[in-house]
Amino acid sequence: MTSVAAAPPRASWVEPPLTLIRRTAALSLVELQKLRHDHTELLTRTVQPLLWLLVFGQIFSRIRAIPTGPVSYLAYLTPGILAQSALFVAIFFGIQIIWDRDAGILTKVMVTPTPRQAIVAAKAFAAGVRGLSPVVVLIPVALLLGVSVTANPFKILAAAVAVMLGAGFFACLSMAIAGLAGTRDRLMGFGQVLTMPLFFASNALYPIEIMPTWLQVVSHVNPLTYLVDALRGLLIGTPAHLTLDFAVLLGATAVGIWVSGALLGRLVR
C-alpha cells in the first residue's frame, strides 16, 4: 500500500526557479515536436509579410510620401514588417491555450507540479519560434529588392532574440486576454480590436516624429515600437536605443508571463 508522508518536503530557494526552467524546457520541447510533425504553419506565415513588403513597400517607395532619412523606404519598412509578422503570429496565440483547455490538455498539465508561468512561457517560446519563420524568407527577399541588411551573425542573432521576445510578449498578452475572455469567439474579437491599433501606433510603417502628439505618447508605451527600433538598429544600421529596446522587451515579456500565468487558473474553473 502506498505510504506518503504528511509533511511537505522543504524546498531550497533555488528550487522554484529551477523548476520553472525545467518545466518550461519540457513544455517547449513539446511545442517544437508539434511543429516538427506539422510545419505547414511555418510556410503559410510567410505569405502575408511578403505581400506587405512586395506590394505596400514597393508602392510607398515610389510615392516617397514618408520621410525616412538616409535609408530607402523599403529598407526602413523591412524591420517593421518583421516586427509586424511577429505581432500577427502571436496576438491570437491565446486561442491555442483555449483549445488546450477545451481539449482537456491544459487541465491535465495544470494538475502536474508545473508552475502556471512555465505553461505560458513555453507557449511564448512557441510563438517566438513561429515569429522567426517569416525572417527566413523576408530577409532574402529584401536583399533581392536591394535592401542592405547586415551580414554580422551576432547582429542577426540579436535580431532573432528581439523577434522572439516581441512575439513572446504579444503571445502572453493574448493568453492574458484568453484568461479574462474565456472563449475563442471573445478572444478573436479582442484580438481584432488590438492588432491594428498596436501596429499603427508604432514606428513599423512611419517615423514616430510625423505622428500626432497623442499617438506619439501611445507609441512610446507600445512594445512593438521598441522591437522595431531594435530590428532597425541591428539589421539596417539606423540609430537605435538597443539597451532600452531590449530592457523593455525583456521586462514586458517577464511581466506578460507572470500576469498571463496568474490568469491561467480562470480558464479551468
Partner 1 sequence: MTTPAVEITGLVHRFGGVADVSAAVDGLDLTVAAGEVFGLLGPNGAGKTTTLRVVNTLLPVQQGRVTVFGLDVSRHATQVRRLLGYVPQQLSVEGALTGRQNVAWFARLYDVPRRNRAARVDEALAAMDLFDAADRLAGTYSGGMIRRLELAQALVGDPALLVLDEPTVGLDPIARDGVWDRVRAMRAERGMTVLLTTHYMEEADELCDTVALMHRGRLAAAGSPAQLKADLGPDASLEDVFRHHAGIDLAASGKEGIRDVRRSRATARKLG
Contact footprint for partner 1 (CB under 8 A): 1-9, 22-23, 26-27, 29-30, 33-34, 37-38, 103-105, 107-114, 265, 268-269
Minimum Å distance from CB 253 to partner 1? 23
Minimum Å distance from CB 117 to partner 1? 13
Give Cβ neighbours of residue 246 (< 8 Å, ≥ 6 apart). Answer: 162, 165, 230
Minimum Å distance from CB 201 to partner 1? 36
Longest CA–CA span in the chain (Å) reads 79
> By 3-state DSSP, what share of the chain in percent is helix, strand and coil, each rounded to 5?
75, 0, 25
What 3-state class would DSSP assign to 72?
coil
Identity of the residue numbered 218: V
Question: Which residue, 175 or 204, has its beta carbon nearer to partner 1?
Answer: 175
Minimum Å distance from CB 260 to partner 1? 18
Nearest to 97 by CA among 269, 267, 230: 267
Question: Which residue, 81 or 89, has its beta carbon nearer to partner 1?
Answer: 89
Note every long-range contact of 236-244, with CB atoms under 8 Å and residues 24 or more positions apart, other chains counting.
236/71, 236/75, 236/76, 236/78, 236/79, 236/147, 236/148, 236/149, 236/150, 237/150, 238/69, 238/71, 238/76, 242/158
Question: Which residue, 32 or 65, has its beta carbon nearer to partner 1?
Answer: 32
Minimum Å distance from CB 164 to partner 1? 22
Question: Which residue, 54 or 103, has its beta carbon nearer to partner 1?
Answer: 103
Nearest to 174 by CA among 163, 150, 190: 190
Question: Which residue, 180 or 211, has its beta carbon nearer to partner 1?
Answer: 180
Question: Which residue, 23 or 232, has its beta carbon nearer to partner 1?
Answer: 23
Minimum Å distance from CB 115 to partner 1? 8
Question: Which residue, 33 or 213, has its beta carbon nearer to partner 1?
Answer: 33
Minimum Å distance from CB 81 to partner 1? 29
Sign, CA dihedral 235-240-244-245, equals: negative
- Residues 78 and 233 sit within 8 Å (Cβ to Cβ): no
